[in-house]
Amino acid sequence: MTTPRDVVVIVGSLRKESFTRKLANALRALAPTSLALAIVEIGQLPHYNQDLDGETPPAEWAAFRARVAKADAVLFVTPEYNRSVPGVLKNAIDVGSRPYGKSAWSGKPCAIVSNSPGQLSAFGANHHLRQSLVFLNMPAMQQPEAYIGGVAALFDAQGQLVNDSTRDFLKKFLDAFAAWIDKIAAK
């Protein structure tokens, strides 16, 4: 058996019981054996400030950068705040992209799953994030896109995904992501 690809999962919501975290946990459970999904926490990261990014940056930044750098790929799971990504997610992106020329993100294949209790499915957050990924030199999987609307109705009281069509879609999405990672790695 081959070693599974190490996929860092960045959850764009800090709330312990957030729909985004429930969705990330569901994705971890549904992942094919070729992928090892691991949530990497971002709430502890101090706000990015270039003045702190000298010879000894904050330990949280150094650990986060090292973890992202060693990963084979990145899966972003995000809600939408004000038609964009949450500030905590943007901060994590900024921390990982610095210092200039040493981005931990560069070249990492990635995918995005956006979600919302509403019907727009965090379309704005998904596409704002894609704009940043272009600059970060992260090849983002284009298809299938994953916009999960009505997320509040998809989980039971224990946080388990109960919607069969969403489960089937997410399995296909993860299979496509595994193939995407392999394709980028082969280049």
Q: What is the mean pLDDT of residues 52-71?
A: 96
* CATH code, domain with 151: 3.40.50.360
Q: Is the pTM of this model over 0.95?
A: yes
Q: What is the mean pLDDT of residues 132-149?
A: 97
Question: Where in the sequence is the domain holding 171, given as residue range(s)?
Answer: 5-186
**What pLDDT was estimated at residue 120?**
79
SS3 assignment for the chain = CCCCEEEEEEECCCCCCCHHHHHHHHHHHHCCCCEEEEECCCCCCCCCCHHHCCCCCCHHHHHHHHHHHHCCEEEEEECCECCECCHHHHHHHHHHHCCCCCCCCCCCCEEEEEECCCCCCCHHHHHHHHHHHHHCCCCECCCCCEEECCHHHCECCCCCECCHHHHHHHHHHHHHHHHHHHHHHHC
**Number of domains observed in the structure of the chain:** 1
